[in-house]
Structure 1
Amino acid sequence: MAVPTEIVWERDPHTEAKHTLLRRYMSAWFPIMAKQFRGDGITFFDGFAGPGEYTNAQESSPVIAMEQALRSDVTRYGTQTRLVFVENHRGRFEHLDNLLDARFPPTIRPPGLVMRVHFDECVDCFERVIAEVGGWDGPVFANLDGWGVDADYRVVQRIAQQRSSEVLVTFKDQFFIRFPDGDQKAGERVFGHSHWRNVDQLHTAEKKPFLLDLYRQGLRSAGFEYVLTFEMLDEGGHSLHLFFGTTNKVAVERFKDGLWKVDGVSGQRFRDPRDPNQLSFDIRDPDFTPLESRILELLGERDHNLEELREDALLETIYKKSHVKPAADRLIDRRKVIQVSTGPSYADRVLRLAEPQLFC
């Protein structure tokens, strides 16, 4: 959708899906981190907070964060929980500030909960406003959901340097369509370097995958050991790209658990944007063909045990670890793969690419 000019606008299906994923992940993040970091405290930072509601929905990322932070399984630990929201539109800032005070008045906030709303540009104020609430003493989860080229690499890089911190960055598809045509200053802000300009030498079909992979590499270079990326498509074919950066492998599993809930996510379809040949699929009716192809590709290089294939699926695909064994079993049934050793653990089960057969 186009960048809105009004204070409050209609929530589109992409945003609804994003909120569903964020709520699911935050429902795990807040209690786990509150228990683990009682002495340091935890911080949720929203760099592009918006007005806090929509014309057709009362849910928003700030509201989701506040609701999750106030749950009894979070507050019982007495951990200082800091929520910092930044918005650069005066009208939306005022709307958000008033809305949060009305829906979550100080009387219902526990002593350890600190909430701040700031009118400023994210990149100009993020270090200061997080420092003001003591946020750099503990882990930070940063939600960077801007309108195109708003997620400055300096923000991502600083968050990555913070112990046990994570980032969720959103790009709309128009960014990868318009951006290569030339906003060079925007490119430097997003990627933190000028290497992205090599996109000019590529064919049109190669530009988007190149930029996606470059940004994924950038998150890893910043310090996020694990980077999950996927593309959501609505019924009109409009797409949205999400990048989740973390230093914790378990966090990747938790995030994927939210994605793969059996009820699906707001009618969205998903695919791995790094594979231009992959068709999108509904979580409620998934297509495991790309996973099977990935397994065959890896086994074409060498033998792998099942645990190695599970790790690869977790970290390098849109699929979960639990999807690998059924996929491998199907390949064995079709005589494309053979099992050369077995045992009680996944690491004991070694698979090998089957020799081609003339007759089956």
Structure 2
Amino acid sequence: MGGVLWSLEAATEAKHRLYKRYFDAWWPILLQPSAGTGRSWSKVTFLDAFAGPGRYEGGEQGSPVFTLDRLLTHGAVDRMNLSRERVQLVFIEKRRDRYEYLLGQLHDRFGPLEHLPVRVEVHRGEAGVDSERILTELGAWGQPILGVFDSWGSVNVPLELMRRIAHNRASEVIATFGPNWFSRREDLNSDILDAVFGGRAFWAPAAEVEESDKKWRAWLEIYREALHRAGFNFRLQFKVVPHTGQPLYLVFGTGHEKGVEVMKEAMWSVDKSDGMSFKDPRVRNAVALGQGSLFDDGEVIDPELLTLVQQRLGQGAVSLEQLGQWLLLETSQWRARDAKKAVQDLHGDGRVIIPAGRLTKASVVSLR
């Protein structure tokens, strides 16, 4: 069963770096008045459905604590019009001992929760069973929701819940698969997998994959497709590779290009000096160098980017602008502006053809 606390895994620490950057950007986008209309959302809900006890054995903060802390101390807090009616954070924890420990951690760090300028709800429950009911009771539907379904063990969140969030205005989800999920998939309940992936016909092909390096790629792609069927127009899936230990796997779903841009900018703002990186499932042979030095001196090009660009050009010639949009919306970490640098590098090696003259957004690029 395990104790109340556990040690902070390197993969979790790496993931937390990404979360902090993304949440820091997400709050002001939703809560500050729009530059175009001057309006903003009347209610915003953050859901951490696998909240945990709020702390690790080494004293490190868990996601409920650092999420609330960074919101209350955010640099834009004076412009976000925080109120208990407008902003709510929901934390769900299944185990009673961890639920009680989390309550204690939040009270120790922030004092009485009812005195905070935002509403904080801590519930004892199961993510896949209770999330929708709790969101309904809190009046979250019809306004933006960020649902974080971050389980180290089995993923048991029904696709129907993901579908409802996908069709909810300006809402997004993050789902993770722990490092051992793919190797122990055979131990999981097939009925649960039916609910998570939308039916046996959708996940059965991945269950047949034996080679470990192909297995995680197959399952992530199938889950990405499931989120597409649920209604998320844009999905990112990637492997978070820590400096030591096992990686974990993350899928992000959003209905807006802006969400994709913000998530990718969060990736690029994360400190990767210790070798942590993000890897795209479709790249098998390229070696990820870590984005800390990428493009800094105009010479270092990550081979993953070059591999992906060549794969796309292998499907036919496209304009530089179209290539940039493909990188933004269909790859794990690359941005539209990375297309030009990659094309210039590949052209210098004689691997692509570009029109004579200045390389512009309209320039059509093709493989040689």
TM range (shorter): 0.7 to 0.9
Does 2:344 match 1:337? no
Residue of structure 2 in register with 1:357 after alignment: none
Residue of structure 2 in register with 1:310 after alignment: 324
Match of 1:276, SS state, is coil
Residue of structure 1 in register with 2:60 after alignment: 58
Residue of structure 2 in register with 1:104 after alignment: 110
Deviations 1:154-207 (A, max 9, x none): 332222121110111110131111104663133223212112123344443543
Unaligned runs of 5+ in 1: 355-360
Indicate conservation of the 8 Å contact 1:340/1:349, yes or no.
yes
Unaligned runs of 5+ in 2: 34-38, 295-300
Residue of structure 1 in register with 2:195 after alignment: 189
Q: CA 1:265/1:314 → structure 2, altered by over 3 Å: closer, same or farther? A: farther
Indicate conservation of the 8 Å contact 1:151/1:169, yes or no.
no
AA aligned opposite 2:192: A
Q: Which is further off, 236-245 or 36-45? A: 36-45
Match of 1:211, SS state, is helix
Residue of structure 2 in register with 1:156 after alignment: 162
Does 2:299 match 1:299? no
Residue of structure 1 in register with 2:6 after alignment: 9
Deviations 1:268-317 (A, max 9, x none): 23311233334344232556223223323333433211111111111222
Deviations 1:187-240 (A, max 9, x none): 223212112123344443543322221111001111111111111223455120
Residue of structure 1 in register with 2:142 after alignment: 137
Indicate conservation of the 8 Å contact 1:48/1:122, yes or no.
yes
Match of 2:132, SS state, is helix
Residue of structure 1 in register with 2:21 after alignment: 24
Match of 1:241, SS state, is strand
Q: Which is further off, 81-90 or 243-252? A: 243-252
CA distance in structure 1 between the aligned counterparts of 2:313 and 2:307, rounded to whole angstroms:
10
Match of 1:348, SS state, is coil
Q: Paired residue for 1:321, among 336, 353, 361? A: 336
CA distance in structure 1 between the aligned counterparts of 2:244 and 2:208, rounded to whole angstroms:
30
CA distance in structure 2 between the aligned counterparts of 1:29 and 1:342, rounded to whole angstroms:
40
**Identity of matched residues, %:** 32
Q: Which is further off, 114-123 or 201-210? A: 201-210
AA aligned opposite 1:27: D
Indicate conservation of the 8 Å contact 1:69/1:81, yes or no.
no
CA distance in structure 2 between the aligned counterparts of 1:155 and 1:69, rounded to whole angstroms:
26
Does 2:83 match 1:76? no
CA distance in structure 1 between the aligned counterparts of 2:289 and 2:356, rounded to whole angstroms:
34
Q: CA 1:147/1:352 → structure 2, altered by over 3 Å: closer, same or farther? A: closer
Indicate conservation of the 8 Å contact 1:271/1:281, yes or no.
no
Q: CA 1:267/1:294 → structure 2, altered by over 3 Å: closer, same or farther? A: closer
Match of 1:284, SS state, is helix
CA distance in structure 2 between the aligned counterparts of 1:163 and 1:35, rounded to whole angstroms:
17
CA distance in structure 2 between the aligned counterparts of 1:181 and 1:132, rounded to whole angstroms:
34
AA aligned opposite 1:321: A
Indicate conservation of the 8 Å contact 1:145/1:151, yes or no.
no
AA aligned opposite 1:51: P
Indicate conservation of the 8 Å contact 1:43/1:139, yes or no.
yes
Aligned residues: 348
Match of 2:141, SS state, is helix
Q: Which is further off, 330-339 or 248-257? A: 330-339
Indicate conservation of the 8 Å contact 1:51/1:92, yes or no.
yes
CA distance in structure 1 between the aligned counterparts of 2:134 and 2:273, rounded to whole angstroms:
33
Q: CA 1:64/1:182 → structure 2, altered by over 3 Å: closer, same or farther? A: closer
Residue of structure 1 in register with 2:36 after alignment: none
Q: CA 1:12/1:202 → structure 2, altered by over 3 Å: closer, same or farther? A: closer
Indicate conservation of the 8 Å contact 1:233/1:239, yes or no.
yes
User: Where do 1:172-211 residues align within 5 Å?
Assistant: 172-180=178-186, 183-195=189-201, 196-205=203-212, 206-211=214-219
AA aligned opposite 1:204: E
Q: TM-score, normalised by structure 1?
A: 0.88
CA distance in structure 2 between the aligned counterparts of 1:57 and 1:253, rounded to whole angstroms:
33
Q: Which is further off, 52-61 or 100-109? A: 100-109
Provide the alpha-carbon RMSD of the alignment.
2.4
Match of 2:250, SS state, is strand
Indicate conservation of the 8 Å contact 1:272/1:278, yes or no.
no
Q: Which has the higher helix share?
A: 1
CA distance in structure 1 between the aligned counterparts of 2:228 and 2:106, rounded to whole angstroms:
34
Q: CA 1:134/1:209 → structure 2, altered by over 3 Å: closer, same or farther? A: same
AA aligned opposite 2:258: V
CA distance in structure 2 between the aligned counterparts of 1:262 and 1:185, rounded to whole angstroms:
38
**Deviation for aligned residue 1:330:** 1.1
Q: CA 1:219/1:137 → structure 2, altered by over 3 Å: closer, same or farther? A: same
Residue of structure 2 in register with 1:42 after alignment: 44
Q: CA 1:235/1:30 → structure 2, altered by over 3 Å: closer, same or farther? A: closer
